[in-house]
Amino acid sequence: MSRVAAIQMASGPNVGANLIEVERLIASAVEDGAELIVLPENFAIMGMTEEDKVPLREAEGDGPIQSFIAQQAKDNGVWIVGGTIPLVSADDNKVYAACLLYDAEGNQVARYDKIHLFDVILEENSESYTESQTIEAGDHCVVVDTPFGRLGLAICYDLRFPELFRALLDQGVEIIAVPSAFTAITGRAHWETLVRARAIENLSYVIAAAQGGYHVNGRETYGDSMIVDPWGGVLDRLSNGSGVVCAEIDPVRLAQTRQSFPSISHRKFFCEMK
């Protein structure tokens, strides 16, 4: 078995202050025995506006945010899923929301660019979000071998698109990391349901690391970071505020669950009706 962790925080516009908090929380996770640590979406920057992250964009493999996470992984001897980091795109006014995976030696071993962008208006309070104005969408899913199992990457709004998770399953996924920053409104309505559903239907562990709390820009994020097992059971969770949730990933239990309840092999594919 391996011990994994999800970090929860309420990031602000000051990158340096955010990284100090990340370092503190990583140390707490390591002290609790975590070998794989998942950071939330936007861990390094939650700007006053969506445009604030664009000037901070980094080239892949080169930049202070990436160097910091790589060093944290190496110094602590742990794998880290680096939430989202703004990386350069062909459009100077946009970034990729890139989820980077680092191994215990500090090497980048995978990159996933957020595919589904949060362009919505919330009727309850008329909040609007238009991620596509500053983020370039990715176009491929990612699953990678790790010491803990086949790890798939997804980000926040991706949770609403089960076909992405089926694509991960087709690549042999066993553990899914989901860095997130759900709004308070959407989180109350759907967060737990979506996280547990993605675990249940894919018979996979889900590590959902969320932003949680009030932010300097006036935004409130839902939090409730959790680790869910392949049967949909919540192994650990944190309702709000900064902190760490930890749990054991048991590959034997995962294999036994998939064998005794073989719903994955029962999938049927329907063609369009004539």
Given the residues 35, 99, 131, 156, select the one marked as catalytic. Answer: 156
Residue 151 burial (C-beta neighbours within 10 Å; 0-12, 13-18, 19+): buried
* Contact of 52 with 45, CB cutoff 8 Å: yes
Given the residues 53, 99, 114, 246, select the one marked as catalytic. Answer: 114
Decide if 114 is catalytic: yes
Residue 129 burial (C-beta neighbours within 10 Å; 0-12, 13-18, 19+): middle
SS3 192: helix
Decide if 53 is catalytic: no
Residue 103 — left, alpha, or beta (φ > 0 → left; ψ -120 to 50 → alpha)? beta
Residue located via tokens 């640590």: 37
* Contact of 166 with 140, CB cutoff 8 Å: no
d(CA 242, CA 23): 12
d(CA 203, CA 169): 9
Decide if 268 is catalytic: no
Q: Which residues contact 198 (CB under 8 A, 6 or more apart)?
A: 159, 162, 165, 176, 178, 204, 206
Strand pairing class (175-180; 149-153): parallel
> Helix and strand tally (H, E) in the chain?
6, 17
* Contact of 1 with 250, CB cutoff 8 Å: yes
Kindly list the catalytic residues.
41, 114, 156
